[in-house]
């Protein structure tokens, strides 16, 4: 998705924070949709391996490079306090299917992505030079636990894992929107979707609308230059004279954000103040 001037990610501000809970929910839904797309692509890979007869003999490792995204306070990791570091940031998926594995096993003890290299070399029988020290295999515990590093102020600082209670600010609606055809209609009565604008709403006059191009059947829009009298409530997005989504305002009312089904034209309607 294209970068928006004065913003860091979709719905957030230049300082990487969200000004409202609704805008935070938009980014979580975008993130969840990306995970669904990844899962779909992984399924296609698994299907092709099975079709080729090589699935049983193939090692598959699913993980991520880091967890630096979507904390409860920001669209990126901030602060680096103990709870945020190990609960919101450093957790990433790690699923391994070994060649010839017949049954699943869950490891509850902390593991590190740094252990993947040794796991792969051991599985393939590759020789590791003595001058290249590797972390233990994923089947073994780390001597001191996983390490998470930051590069704040140009200095690399490692932190060794400390157990903390997990923070989970996500809601079921972030992962499974109530209306799959309008997954980003947030903060409005979903019964209005597909219907004419009800009485009591007034059309936003002469807004400046930026379309963020993408391959999805959904269109991301940024609205500036005009705002509703009451920006604490979402405006309605319309196409073809029917409601198709919601426009969410930043707290400072300088910008509105929306994702709605693609159409030839868009209108924006303010609720009664």
Determine, yes or no, domain membership for 13: no
The verdict on 119 and 214 lying in the same domain is no
Q: Report the pLDDT averaged over residues 48-59.
A: 97
Q: Which long-range contacts (CB under 8 A, 24 or more apart) does 37-46 make?
A: none
Residues 82 and 188 in one domain: no
Confidence of residue 38 (pLDDT cuts 50, 70, 90): very high
Q: Is residue 15 included in any domain, yes or no? A: no
Q: Does residue 188 share a domain with residue 155?
A: no
Are residues 232 and 117 part of one domain? no
Domain match, 145 and 205 both? no
Q: Which residue range is the domain that position 28 belongs to?
A: 21-160
Is residue 37 domain-resident?
yes
Reduced to 3 states (helix: H, G, I; strand: E, B; else coil), residue 105 is coil
| Claim to verify: residue 134 and residue 239 sit in the same structural domain | no
Residue 10 in any domain: the answer is no
Asked if residue 100 belongs to a domain, the reply is: yes
pTM summary value: 0.83
Tokens 């499974």 belong to 176
Q: What's the mean pLDDT in 240-247?
A: 96
The answer as to whether 11 is a domain residue is no
* Pair 154, 26 in one domain: yes
Which of 40-49, 87-96, 245-254 is least confident? 87-96
pLDDT digits (tens, 9 = 90+) for 193-227: 999 999 999 999 999 999 998 888 999 999 999 99
Domain count, the chain: 2
249, β-bridge pairs: 256
Confidence of residue 2 (pLDDT cuts 50, 70, 90): low
Whether residue 69 has pLDDT greater than 70? no
| Residue 64 clears pLDDT 70, i.e. is over it | yes
| Average confidence score pLDDT of the chain | 90
Residue 194 belongs to some domain of the structure: yes
Of the residues 95, 127, 160, the one at which a domain ends: 160
Q: Which long-range contacts (CB under 8 A, 24 or more apart) does 4-7 make?
A: 4/210, 4/212, 4/222, 6/255, 7/255
In a domain, 245, yes or no: yes
Give the least confident one: 34-48, 107-121, 148-162, 194-208: 148-162
d(CA 86, CA 157): 15
Contact at 8 Å (CB) between 191 and 206? no
pLDDT digits (tens, 9 = 90+) for 87-129: 777 778 899 999 999 899 999 888 989 899 999 999 999 999 9
Q: How far apart are CA 38 and CA 24, in angstroms?
A: 21
Q: How confident is the model at residue 74 (pLDDT cuts 50, 70, 90)?
A: confident
């Amino acid at each position: 998705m294209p970068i928006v001037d004065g913003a860091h990610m979709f719905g957030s501000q230049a300082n990487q924070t969200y000004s409202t809970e609704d805008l935070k929910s938009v980014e979580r839904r975008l993130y969840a949709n990306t995970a669904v797309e990844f899962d779909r692509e992984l399924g296609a890979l698994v299907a092709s391996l099975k079709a080729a007869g090589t699935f049983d003999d193939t090692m598959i490792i699913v993980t991520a490079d880091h967890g630096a995204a979507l904390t409860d306070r920001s669209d990126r990791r901030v602060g680096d306090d103990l709870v945020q570091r190990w609960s919101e940031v450093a957790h990433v998926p790690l699923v391994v299917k070994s060649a010839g594995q017949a049954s699943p096993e869950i490891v509850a003890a902390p593991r590190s992505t740094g252990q993947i290299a040794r796991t792969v070399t051991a599985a393939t029988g590759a020789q590791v030079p003595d001058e290249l020290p590797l972390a233990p295999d994923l089947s073994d515990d780390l001597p001191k636990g996983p390490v998470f590093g930051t590069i704040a102020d140009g200095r690399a600082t490692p932190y060794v894992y400390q157990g903390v209670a997990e923070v989970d600010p996500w809601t079921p609606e972030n992962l499974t929107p109530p209306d799959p055809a309008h997954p980003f209609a947030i903060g409005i009565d979903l019964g209005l979707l597909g219907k004419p604008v009800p009485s009591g709403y007034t059309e936003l006059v002469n807004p400046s609308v930026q379309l963020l191009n993408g391959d999805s059947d959904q269109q991301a829009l940024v609205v500036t230059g005009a705002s509703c009298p009451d920006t604490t409530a979402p405006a309605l997005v319309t196409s073809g004279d029917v409601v198709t989504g919601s426009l969410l305002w930043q707290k400072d009312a300088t910008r509105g954000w929306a994702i709605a089904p693609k159409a030839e034209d868009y209108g924006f309607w303010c609720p009664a103040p």
